[in-house]
Amino acid sequence: MNGQYFFATREGTLEGPYFTRADAEREITSYIRRMVQAKEMIASRA
């Protein structure tokens, strides 16, 4: 979008803007890692 990159999550958020595709792809990986860690933390407290 206008030379910027975004990604949509299944949680319904739109993440970005990122100035390069590589930046967006790196942030997708970071986002997934954070979501997995959050899920694991919640599961460990149950």
pLDDT in tens, 7-32: 999 999 999 999 999 999 999 999 99
> Would you state the torsion angle of the CA atoms of residues 5, 7, 12, 17, taken in this order, to the nearest 10 degrees?
-30
Q: Locate 23 and state its tokens.
A: 């930046």
pLDDT band at 2 (very low <50, low <70, confident <90, very high): confident
- Going by pLDDT thresholds of 50, 70 and 90, the confidence category of residue 46 is confident
What band does 1 get if pLDDT is binned at 50, 70 and 90?
confident
DSSP string over 1-46: -TT-EEEE-TTS-EEEEESSHHHHHHHHHHHHHHHHHHHHHHHHH-
pTM: 0.82
